[in-house]
C-alpha cells in the first residue's frame, strides 16, 4: 500500500484571510516503510512574510522571491501524491491551504476521505497529554535534534517515523523478530535425541561398491570416507 506523509509551511494560520503556502514536503511510504522517494518545493507566496510566521520556519520574503508559484508546480505535486492516502499531522490545517491553492488554479480539491490525521490518532492513543510532533518524537525516542525550526520535508520525515509507532507497525515487526530469535535459540539449546538402534543403510551393496570405487579415484583421504557405510 502506498501512502504519502505530507507537511507544509505557510505565511499564517488562515488561507481564507490571504495566508499562503510557502513550502511543501512529502515522503513516500510503501507497506509502511519509507522508500526514499520525496517531493520538496519552496513557493513564492506573492505576499509579505509576517514576523510571527518567519519565527516559526525562518523563510523570508527575500528567500522566497525567486521561488516558483504554486501554479507552476501543481502538476508535479499532484502527480507525486497520486491517489494515495495522505498522512498529515493536524490534517485539516494543511489540506485547507493546499485546497485553497488548488481552488485558485481551478483544480479539484483533495477530499477529506484521503486524509490520515496523525494528531487524531495520537490523541486517541495518548489522551490528556500534548501530542505535538516534538512531543511524539520524544515519546517514541525519535531523534529530532535537527528540528531547530519547522521545515516541511524534515517534519514529514519525522512524522513518517512517528506514524509507524502510532499504528504499531514498528512494534509488530520487533515482536516478530524477537519471536524468531527466541525460537532459534531454543532449538540450539535443545540436545538432539539419538536412536538406540541406528537405522540400517538404505543403499544396496552394489550402490555402496560403486560409490567406494568412485571415491578411490579421487586419491588422498576424501572426506566421504568418514560417512561411508561400514559393514556390521
Residue 46 in contact with residue 77, Cβ under 8 Å?
no
Q: Are the C-beta atoms of 64 and 53 separated by less than 8 Å?
A: no
150 is an active site residue: yes
Question: Judging by beta carbons within 10 Å of its beta carbon (0-12, 13-18, 19+), is residue 161 exposed, middle or buried?
Answer: buried
From 1, 3, 6, 16, select the one nearest 152 (Cα to Cα): 6
Please pick, among 40, 57, 150, 211, the residue that the annotation labels catalytic.
Answer: 150
CA distance linking residue 110 with residue 85, whole number of Å: 10
Q: Answer for the pair 61, 94: CB distance below 8 angstroms, yes or no.
A: no
37: closest CA among 50, 26, 45?
26
Catalytic residue positions, numbered:
150
Amino acid at each position: 500500500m502506498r501512502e504519502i506523509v505530507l507537511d507544509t509551511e505557510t505565511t499564517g494560520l488562515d488561507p481564507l484571510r490571504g495566508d499562503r503556502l510557502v513550502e511543501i514536503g512529502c515522503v513516500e511510504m510503501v507497506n509502511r516503510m519509507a522508500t526514499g522517494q520525496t517531493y520538496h518545493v519552496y513557493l513564492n507566496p506573492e505576499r509579505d512574510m509576517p514576523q510571527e510566521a518567519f519565527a516559526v520556519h525562518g523563510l523570508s520574503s527575500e528567500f522566497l522571491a525567486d521561488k516558483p508559484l504554486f501554479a507552476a508546480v501543481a502538476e508535479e505535486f499532484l502527480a507525486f501524491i497520486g491517489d494515495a492516502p495522505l498522512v498529515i499531522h493536524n490534517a485539516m490545517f494543511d489540506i485547507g491551504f493546499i485546497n485553497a491553492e488548488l481552488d485558485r488554479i481551478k483544480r479539484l480539491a483533495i477530499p477529506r476521505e484521503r486524509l490520515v490525521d496523525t494528531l487524531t490518532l495520537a490523541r486517541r492513543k495518548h489522551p490528556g497529554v500534548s501530542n505535538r510532533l516534538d512531543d511524539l518524537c520524544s515519546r517514541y525516542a525519535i531523534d529530532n535534534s535537527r528540528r531547530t525550526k519547522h521545515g516541511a520535508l524534515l517534519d514529514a520525515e519525522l512524522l513518517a517515523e512517528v506514524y509507524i509507532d502510532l499504528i504499531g507497525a514498528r512494534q509488530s515487526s520487533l515482536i516478530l523478530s524477537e519471536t524468531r530469535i527466541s525460537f532459534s535459540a531454543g532449538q540450539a539449546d535443545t540436545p538432539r535425541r539419538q536412536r538406540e538402534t541406528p537405522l540400517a543403510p538404505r543403499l544396496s551393496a552394489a550402490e555402496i561398491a560403486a560409490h567406494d570405487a568412485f571415491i578411490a579415484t579421487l586419491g588422498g583421504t576424501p572426506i566421504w570416507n568418514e560417512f561411508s557405510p561400514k559393514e556390521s
